Amino acid sequence: DVKVTQSSRYLVKRTGEKVFLECVQDMDHENMFWYRQDPGLGLRLIYFSYDVKMKEKGDIPEGYSVSREKKERFSLILESASTNQTSMYLCASSRTRPDTGELFFGEGSRLTVL
């Protein structure tokens, strides 16, 4: 069964800590994405990557960075966590066209910053 796996379902961190969220996909997809989900705001794109070592900013990149050293792995980094980064983080992957761009999601990582 094809999968997108996120390393942690639940994390609790303190303000100022460095936080790593890891995502691995086994579908050989070119594209990987990090979204943030907050009640009433839907999903907002943080960063995405179309290839190894490539990254592009999404709609809300401030306070985040990403790393893609291998095709299957896409990491989201919070350099100095703040309380307003408490959220659900969703990783997704997709295949490049001619596919439709359907997203395959991980189970999500719920981060609480105290």
Binding residues for another protein, per CB under 8 A? 31, 33, 35, 40-45, 48, 58, 88, 90, 92-97, 99-108
* Token pair recorded at residue 46: 């943080």
E strand or H helix at 113, and its extent?
A: strand 109-113
Distance in Å, CB of 83 to another protein, minimum:
22
How far does CA 91 lie from the centroid of its chain? Answer: 4
Nearer to another protein, 28 or 79 (CB): 28
Distance in Å, CB of 16 to another protein, minimum:
27
Distance in Å, CB of 73 to another protein, minimum:
17
Distance in Å, CB of 28 to another protein, minimum:
14
Nearer to another protein, 56 or 79 (CB): 56
Q: Where are the alpha helices (DSSP H) in 4-111?
A: none
Nearer to another protein, 52 or 103 (CB): 103
Burial of 88 (C-beta count, 10 Å sphere; 0-12/13-18/19+): middle
User: Residue 8 carries which side chain, given as an amino acid letter?
Assistant: S
Nearer to another protein, 17 or 105 (CB): 105
Contact between 62 and 80 under an 8 Å Cβ cutoff? The reply is no
